Structure 1
Amino acid sequence: MLLRTIYAEFCKLHHSFIWLALIILPIVSAGLGTANYLNNLGLLTDQWYSLWTQHALFYCALFAPALTGVYCAYVCRLEHLNRNWNTVMTQPIPISVMLVSKLSVVSFLTLLTQLFIGILFLISGKLAGLTAPVPFALVYWVFRGWWALTVQAALLLCVALVIRSFAVPVAAGILGGFCGLPALVKGFGVYFPFSLLSLGMCSHHPTEPMDCSAAAFLISSCFYLLLGLTASLLWLKKRDIKTT
């Protein structure tokens, strides 16, 4: 049943603007990061690592959380139109299955985004004339970032389920991304869900390990993932009671 529900969620994405957003926003983010790197070559001398800090600066604080908010808002868009929630909640599908299917689709979209970001980073480095070997740590940055974005998606999906406005989850993502910067700088990044992306992608210190242990990163991310899913499930159950 879960696979069928996930397939149904993917069908909603056919001929949607989501794919355009997935392409354009990462390109803009990579372009800004590369331009900032090229304009500060006197200070940024660590080739790939320096380029990564500039790419991650724009991506982690603005573009990634905003794009995740767009994904979450879109997978809930059809249900919010014309009171379709009443139809959805009367289907013989467990609420938990519907919720997990939506999160799975958003998580897959963030994975595609992360892979695209990695490709754009490699292309940008070659265009910038970098000659050093590409750091293998890029693999860890990309996939840890994907996991952190899945955590963000669980929280933003709750916002998208509760509030009908398409813009609110996007705004919440942007606000969370900007609030995550001071938390990261102050050393509290592991305790704030929107700082986990910067931590996982080593946006500030790519030549060093994460600013927290892998265990702390995993525990914090699992906590916020479960928090988002639980809050969404409770809200959907409340809506189900009203529908029945």
Structure 2
Amino acid sequence: MFVSLLESEWYKLRRNNIYTLLIIGPLLTLFIGAMNPMMSEMEGFNPWYSLFLFMNLPYALLFLPLITGVLAGIICRYEHQAGGWKQLAALPVTRSQIYVAKFVLIAILVLVIQLMYGVVVYVAGMVNGFEEGFPFLVISKFIFGGWIATFPMIALQLWAAMHWRSFAVAFTLNVIFTLPGILAINSERFGPYYPWAQPFFMMYAEENMAGIFFVPISQVLLVTGGSFIVFLLLGLLSFKRKAI
């Protein structure tokens, strides 16, 4: 039944031009990486790491957090129209299964976006004529690290999208949390503890950095893991009490 729920959610998403949303972010960052005039001025540095910096700034700080809110809004749009929540509640499934199915599908789509972004980074490097070998391990770490860092965002945005009928309200909430991340990454005191800044930190790759996802494991567990559990439980409890 859970697989059927996922298929049902995917069917609803396909009707909303979801493919365009999945590729627009990676394609925009491809333009930034391939056409950035500053790349020619970064002599003396590994060009791949310079490319990561230029591409990850707009991608991890803006696009990745914002797309989670868009996907959450779209995946709940049908239920807010024509009594969709009542139709779901009539199925032989629990509200927890409905909530988890929506979360899992959004997480899968974000992973697809991350994988496409990894391909885009490689293409941008080829366009720039990099002779150094492609750092597969580094790419893998920041692709999956950035993906895990979106879990708290997905949980909160899904909660908001289920609670508010208006797509604009839920998306505005996402913007409100996303924009301070631009300031948070410059703060050694507050940045490591701000959930919306975690995708950037987990995708900030330098040659001399080691460890899991380029950040201390305590930061992954406390900030990303902790906020994810809190948002997920609050959203699940709110949905269970939602009047349908």
Normalised TM-score (structure 1): 0.89
Instruction: Give the whole-Å Cα distance in 2 for the aligned partners of 1:170 and 1:90.
Output: 28
Deviates more, 1:99-108 or 1:159-168: 159-168
Deviates more, 1:89-98 or 1:124-133: 89-98
Aligned length: 239
The one-letter code sitting in structure 2 at the alignment partner of 1:154 is: A
The one-letter code sitting in structure 2 at the alignment partner of 1:193 is: P
CA gap of 1:206–1:224, structure 2 versus 1, over 3 A, is farther
- The residue number in structure 2 matching 1:39 is 38
Instruction: Give the whole-Å Cα distance in 2 for the aligned partners of 1:124 and 1:68.
Output: 24
The one-letter code sitting in structure 2 at the alignment partner of 1:89 is: A
Instruction: Give the whole-Å Cα distance in 2 for the aligned partners of 1:141 and 1:8.
Output: 31
Instruction: Give the whole-Å Cα distance in 2 for the aligned partners of 1:2 and 1:190.
Output: 36
CA gap of 1:134–1:174, structure 2 versus 1, over 3 A, is farther
Point out where structure 1 has 5 or more consecutive residues left out of the alignment.
none
Q: What do the CA deviations read for 1:180-216 (whole angstroms, capped 9, x no partner)?
A: 122222123332111110111116x465246641232
**What is the 5 A alignment of 1:75-114?**
75-114=75-114
Please give the secondary structure, in 1, of the residue aligned with 2:13: coil
- The residue number in structure 2 matching 1:66 is 66
Q: CA deviation at 1:143?
A: 0.6
Q: CA deviation at 1:40?
A: 4.8
- The residue number in structure 1 matching 2:196 is 194
- The residue number in structure 1 matching 2:234 is 231
Q: What do the CA deviations read for 1:111-170 (whole angstroms, capped 9, x no partner)?
A: 000000000000001001111111221110001111112221111111111122223333
The one-letter code sitting in structure 2 at the alignment partner of 1:151 is: P
CA gap of 1:125–1:169, structure 2 versus 1, over 3 A, is farther
Deviates more, 1:46-55 or 1:229-238: 229-238
Please give the secondary structure, in 1, of the residue aligned with 2:67: helix
Deviates more, 1:138-147 or 1:75-84: 75-84
The one-letter code sitting in structure 2 at the alignment partner of 1:41 is: S
Residues 1:180 and 2:195 are matched in the alignment: no
- The residue number in structure 1 matching 2:209 is 208
Contact kept, 8 Å, 1:33 with 1:58, in 2: the verdict is no
Instruction: Give the whole-Å Cα distance in 2 for the aligned partners of 1:236 and 1:74.
Output: 17
Q: What do the CA deviations read for 1:61-89 (whole angstroms, capped 9, x no partner)?
A: 21111211111111101101123223323
Instruction: Give the whole-Å Cα distance in 2 for the aligned partners of 1:154 and 1:206.
Output: 32
Instruction: Give the whole-Å Cα distance in 2 for the aligned partners of 1:9 and 1:226.
Output: 23
- The residue number in structure 2 matching 1:149 is 150
Contact kept, 8 Å, 1:193 with 1:221, in 2: the verdict is yes
CA gap of 1:191–1:109, structure 2 versus 1, over 3 A, is same
Tell me the percent identity.
Answer: 27
Q: 1:222 aligns with which of 222, 225, 238?
A: 225
Contact kept, 8 Å, 2:39 with 2:51, in 1: the verdict is no
